[in-house]
Each structure stands twice: as C-alpha cells, then as structure tokens.
C-alpha cells in the first residue's frame, strides 16, 4: 500500500473535501462508544452516492487499503473502530442519508444507510406508517449500522430484530460491484436469500448502502403498564398472562431489578421510584393496538385485576399521561448512563429461551456474589426477547477500574458459560465486533465456523472489509 497514491486516487474520485485527514476531525471516530478500543486511520471518506462507495472500494482493493465502514459509531463491541496500524480507511455515511422512495400503499420506505434511526421513524410517520426499530441510541445510530449488526432494541418482542424489517438491500461488495436488490416484495421465493448474509456480518462481507424497509400501521391506541414483581420468574408469568389476554399487542417487555433502578434514581435528576422502594423488580409493558382505545383500557383493567388476584404482581400501574409514560421509560432507558456515572460496569448481553430467563437471572446473580460479595448487579433488559443485560458494578467504596481489571474476565466467563449452558447466546443484540470474536470461536460449532470462514473467503479473499471483526 502506498498511502499517498490511495489518498490521491480518493481525492480525484470524490473531491478533496470528502477525504478527511485532519486529526482533530478524525479523533472522535477512532474510539468506540464504550471507550474499549481506539485505533488510527489513513483517512475518512464521506461518499454521497452508492457509485462513490463503489469507486472507493475499487480504489481500496487496487491499493490494498483495509476498509472500516462506520455509521453512528454506537457499536458496543468495537465493530466500527479501526485497528492501530493506521492503514485503514474509515467510510462514513452522513452524506448518504436520503429517503429514496415511499410506498404509502404497501407501507415501505427506501432509505440510504446514513439516515439516523430516529429520522427513519419520522419519515415513516410522515408517510402515515410506523417503523418500529427503536433503541436508546436512535438519534445517532444509523440505519446501515443497525442493519449490519442486526440490531435489536425495544420492540423486538413484537416486530423482530432489524433483519425482519428489511425487504430489500443494496450492498457494495468487496470487489466494488453493486448488489442491487431493492425490490419491495413481501414474497420472493427465488433461491438463496442473499439479503440476510449482510445483516449480522457487521460490514465484513460488503457495505450496505440502502434498504427497503417494512412499515406497520401506526397503532391507534397505546398504553404503558408498570408492574411491581417479585423476580424474573414472576415477570415471565406476567408477560405470559399479558400475551394471552392482549394477543400480539405487547410491543415492549422490559424488566429491571431494584438495584438497576437505584442507579438511575441516584444519577438522574427528577427520577422518582413509582413504587417507593417496595418493588424487588419492575416490568414495563408497552401495549399498542390498532383497535378501539376504550376497549383496550377495559382489557388492561381486567388483566391488572387478574395479575393482582393471582399474586403474579404486587402492584400494577397504568400510565395516566404521556409525561408519566415518558418518566417510566426514562427509568429503564437511563440505566446504561447511570452505570457510566457510577464508574462503569462489566457488561453482558445474553439471550436464552424465554422459559430459562428466571434461571439465568437467579444463577448469574448468585454466581457473581459468590465471587465478589457486595458486587452490585444491574440486571435488566428485553425480557420478552429472552435477552438480559447482566451488568456488574464494583461494591460501594471499591475503585471501579480495579474491580473491572481484577474480576471482569472471570465474571464474563461465568455469565457466558451459564448462558450457553441454558441454551443461549453470548451476544443477543450487540453483535460480535472485535470484542467477542473469541467467544464466537469458542461457542460456534466447527461446521458453522467453517462455513462462515468460507463465506468470508468467497466474498472478500483479500480480507479488506472490516478486517479483525466477527471472525
């Protein structure tokens, strides 16, 4: 690789101002969201079209320049951070963020990769529809990154993960060719479904440049329930009852323990415990339906009465106003920020079959307390998806960095082994990136790993697409 030749070719293809080498501008893009990884880069480029992405990839291939695509840089696993060699080119997408097409009859949007998720949601609303992919980082997380990592978030229990919302994709392959499959078909049963190879590949097989997204009818009625529950087992029973009563109107099902809540109460101005310290754990249910709002309210009343009668919940609150709903959601969504404010945590993102959630929560907490008495356990997550974040903080008074350095590895090994033993996964929604490559190798079968390697080799024989990630 001759860096100067690569840079000159990129400037000629894109214009000088689309090739960024200024260290101050590059700096924030060279560290990941969690500050676990930092790297260097030859430059960053900001293409304006799929044709420009293709031109960039061709130049990189000719000049043997590794490429690292980066969306909103919100990966939890360092998936968008280059290595320390300084050889890689960062490809960023702020200028490739247009809404290309709206089909208001079929309910689809064709959107470019750089559009933030919140803007995609707004575009869907403008078209009279609903785009459900939603997460704490949605103001900055971009569509391309969310699809590449097959992101999850807050509505998976009803609508599925990112890949389930995609009808068509446009991808620039590692040889510069454009795979254009932007058809908006619900049914297309014509051989291998190539789309799904790129979702979850985290940019290692190609660069997603646009997608056709499935939209849903905007729910006419929405209600939010907050339950005081004994533990994860009771929470699962409540979810089961709610689904049997309300059908598939359960849109979010978020569980959090009192210890997780306590972090938010300590750090979030104005935050209040709705159960005044009485709830060992809380379950937040978002119910959204297209049917009559008054009927929905009645059904919720019946559900609440049943949950209380059967002692599945000790208290059931139904939000009385949008302000109250927002306050409850803030209690859940601000847990990661509160963990940061406490000096950080040893984080996990594991999934198990729903029925094993109670064991996962109970055994993980018992196990880590054995290792570190007084450890603080921030247990929360998308319980309806079988996905919990089991995050551990230093005992009060201990130095967070020392705690993580001393115990982090052992705690993670315990949690991951437990999840796998319960039939689960070490990464439910945050992907693999560079953080969890070893875990992928340790837990996938040789057959699965061999196939993944052969796919990578077939798509990207020179290993230039986001090298060092996933595999």
What residue ranges bind ligand 2HG (CB under 6 A)? 136, 336, 347, 381, 389, 391
| CB 165 to ligand 2HG: min, Å | 18
| CB 51 to ligand 2HG: min, Å | 35
Which residues face 256 on adjacent strands? Answer: 282, 380
Give the three-state DSSP class for 202.
coil
> Please, which residues have CB within 8 angstroms of residue 35's CB and are 6 or more apart in sequence?
none
C-alpha 171/C-alpha 208 separation (Å) is 4
| CB 387 to ligand 2HG: min, Å | 8
Nearest CA among 81, 47, 46, 51 for reference residue 66: 81
C-alpha 234/C-alpha 281 separation (Å) is 9
- Residue nearer to ligand 2HG on the CB measure, 389 or 436: 389
For residue 395, give both structure tokens.
Answer: 């005992």
| CB 331 to ligand 2HG: min, Å | 12
For residue 117, give both structure tokens.
Answer: 């998720």
- Residue nearer to ligand 2HG on the CB measure, 48 or 387: 387
C-alpha 27/C-alpha 323 separation (Å) is 38
C-alpha 280/C-alpha 340 separation (Å) is 23
| CB 64 to ligand 2HG: min, Å | 36
- Residue nearer to ligand 2HG on the CB measure, 144 or 431: 431
- Residue nearer to ligand 2HG on the CB measure, 136 or 160: 136
| CB 354 to ligand 2HG: min, Å | 17
| CB 136 to ligand 2HG: min, Å | 5
Q: How many C-beta neighbours within 10 Å does residue 68 have? A: 26
- Residue nearer to ligand 2HG on the CB measure, 144 or 381: 381
| CB 391 to ligand 2HG: min, Å | 5
| CB 340 to ligand 2HG: min, Å | 8
C-alpha 46/C-alpha 468 separation (Å) is 22
Which whole-number Å values give the CA distances from 401 to 340, 342, 368, 433, 440, in the listed order? 12, 11, 17, 23, 26
| Cβ 87 vs Cβ 66: under 8 Å | yes
- Residue nearer to ligand 2HG on the CB measure, 19 or 285: 285
C-alpha 432/C-alpha 201 separation (Å) is 9
| CB 389 to ligand 2HG: min, Å | 4
- Residue nearer to ligand 2HG on the CB measure, 195 or 347: 347
Which residue has the closest beta carbon to ligand 2HG? 336
- Residue nearer to ligand 2HG on the CB measure, 391 or 466: 391
C-alpha 242/C-alpha 244 separation (Å) is 5
DSSP state of 346: B
| CB 463 to ligand 2HG: min, Å | 29
Q: Which residue has the tokens 């260097």?
A: 40
- Residue nearer to ligand 2HG on the CB measure, 97 or 351: 351
- Residue nearer to ligand 2HG on the CB measure, 10 or 260: 260
Nearest CA among 290, 202, 287 for reference residue 239: 287
> Please, which residues have CB within 8 angstroms of residue 454's CB and are 6 or more apart in sequence?
none
- Residue nearer to ligand 2HG on the CB measure, 347 or 407: 347
Which whole-number Å values give the CA distances from 52 to 13, 204, 258, 355, 462, in the listed order? 8, 19, 50, 48, 21
C-alpha 443/C-alpha 283 separation (Å) is 31
DSSP characters over 94-118: TTS--EEEEETTTTEEEEETTSBHH
Handedness of CA 376, 382, 384, 385 (dihedral sign): negative
């Amino acid at each position: 690789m001759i860096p100067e030749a690569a840079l000159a070719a990129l400037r000629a293809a894109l214009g000088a101002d689309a090739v960024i080498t200024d260290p101050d501008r590059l700096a924030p893009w060279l560290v990941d969201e969690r500050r676990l990884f930092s790297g260097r880069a030859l430059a960053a480029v900001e293409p304006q079209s799929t044709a420009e992405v293709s031109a960039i990839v061709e130049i990189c291939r000719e000049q043997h320049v590794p490429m690292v695509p980066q969306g909103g840089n919100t990966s939890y696993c360092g998936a968008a951070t280059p290595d320390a060699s300084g050889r890689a080119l960062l490809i960023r997408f702020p200028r490739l963020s247009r809404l290309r097409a709206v089909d208001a009859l079929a309910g689809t949007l064709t959107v470019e990769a750089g559009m933030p998720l919140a803007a995609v949601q707004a575009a869907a609303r403008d078209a009279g529809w609903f785009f459900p992919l939603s997460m704490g980082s949605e103001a900055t997380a971009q569509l391309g990154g969310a699809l590449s990592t097959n992101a999850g978030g807050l509505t998976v229990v009803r609508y599925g993960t990112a890949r389930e919302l995609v009808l068509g994709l446009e991808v620039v392959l590692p040889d510069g060719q454009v795979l254009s499959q932007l058809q908006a078909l619900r049914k297309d049963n014509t051989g291998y479904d190539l789309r799904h190879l790129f979702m979850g590949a985290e940019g290692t097989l190609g660069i997603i440049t646009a997608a056709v997204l499935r939209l849903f009818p905007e729910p006419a009625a929405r209600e939010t329930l907050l339950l005081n529950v004994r533990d994860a087992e009771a929470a699962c029973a409540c979810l089961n009852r709610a689904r049997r009563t309300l059908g598939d109107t359960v849109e979010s099902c978020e569980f959090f323990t009192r210890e997780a809540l306590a972090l938010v109460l300590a750090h979030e101005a104005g935050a209040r415990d709705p159960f005044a310290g009485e709830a060992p754990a809380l379950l937040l249910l978002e119910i959204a339906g297209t049917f009559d709002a008054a009927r929905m309210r009645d059904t919720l009343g019946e559900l609440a009465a049943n949950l209380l009668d059967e002692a599945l919940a000790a208290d059931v609150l139904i939000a009385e106003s949008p302000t109250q709903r927002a306050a409850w959601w803030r209690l859940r969504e601000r847990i990661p920020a509160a963990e940061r404010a406490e000096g950080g945590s040893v984080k996990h993102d594991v999934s198990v079959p729903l029925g094993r959630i109670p064991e996962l929560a109970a055994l993980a907490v018992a196990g880590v307390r054995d290792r570190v008495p007084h450890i603080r356990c921030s247990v929360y997550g998308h319980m309806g998806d079988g996905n919990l974040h089991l995050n551990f903080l230093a005992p009060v008074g201990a130095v967070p960095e020392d705690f993580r350095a001393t115990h982090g590895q052992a705690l993670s090994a315990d949690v991951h082994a437990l999840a796998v033993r319960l039939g689960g996964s070490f990464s439910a929604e945050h992907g693999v990136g560079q953080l969890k490559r070893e875990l992928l190798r340790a837990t996938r079968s040789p057959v699965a790993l061999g196939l993944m390697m052969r796919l990578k080799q077939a798509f990207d024989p020179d290993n230039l697409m986001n090298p060092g990630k996933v595999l």
